[in-house]
Chain A
Amino acid sequence: GDQVEQSPSALSLHEGTGSALRCNFTTTMRAVQWFRKNSRGSLINLFYLASGTKENGRLKSAFDSKERYSTLHIRDAQLEDSGTYFCAAEVSGGNYKPTFGKGTSLVVHP
């Protein structure tokens, strides 16, 4: 089965609201990275975490290797936040070959 299970697969938010995306892992991961694929198809790095939490503006991410999950929180959503969000993680002791979740398609409505 998939090592990285990302949810939800799709999410609709009104401007100004917030929500959380989640990735669950079936094994212990070394670190996690979150990306956004924007309307032009570019992959934008959001966060890289080996542990703990990081915050950048309206985005906040957490990674718990022991509990095997990571989250990405979006608050005060804006129209430009729309896109597909991916998490990617690599198995502890692995060989730098990350596995991606299937993505969350986020649409922010006025």
Chain B
Amino acid sequence: EAAVTQSPRNKVAVTGGKVTLSCNQTNNHNNMYWYRQDTGHGLRLIHYSYGAGSTEKGDIPDGYKASRPSQENFSLILELATPSQTSVYFCASGVTGGAYEQYFGPGTRLTVL
């Protein structure tokens, strides 16, 4: 059974609209991450979290907010979506304490028209 799930798996949004991407993990990991993956860029870190109530800016946070209401859930929020945010978004969870091995969700394909 998948330990990191994402919803929705596909989303089409309009420019200026609000988009919320959700991630749930059953690994009981403290750390959670949101990345976007674009051709030629690998995965780039948007926001991450060390635990419930914590959110930290990653390498490309502009235009995104994050929310970690619980150990299991980590959301990525696009308040005013733009076409440049069209991408595939991956959520991951990871342990702390010296090892950071990550486990990824299946990805969400977002298209902003």
Taking Cβ atoms with an 8 Å cutoff, the residues of A that contact B are 4, 6, 30-31, 33, 35, 37, 41-43, 45, 48, 50, 86, 88, 90, 95-103
Contact = CB atoms under 8 A, between A and B. Distances in A.
Interface of B is mostly: strand
Interface residues of B, number: 27
A6 B100 CA distance: 20
B13 interface: no
A97 B45 contact: yes
Given A37-B37, A100-B43, A102-B42, 14 more contacts: A31-B100, A41-B88, A41-B109, A42-B106, A48-B101, A50-B99, A86-B43, A90-B100, A95-B56, A96-B48, A96-B50, A99-B59, A100-B35, A100-B42
Interface of B: 31, 35, 37, 40-45, 48, 50, 56, 58-59, 88, 90, 94, 96, 99-104, 106-107, 109
27 contacts: A31-B100, A33-B101, A41-B88, A41-B106, A41-B107, A42-B104, A42-B106, A43-B90, A43-B107, A45-B101, A50-B99, A86-B42, A86-B43, A95-B56, A96-B48, A96-B96, A96-B100, A97-B45, A97-B48, A98-B45, A98-B102, A100-B35, A100-B42, A100-B43, A100-B44, A102-B40, A103-B42
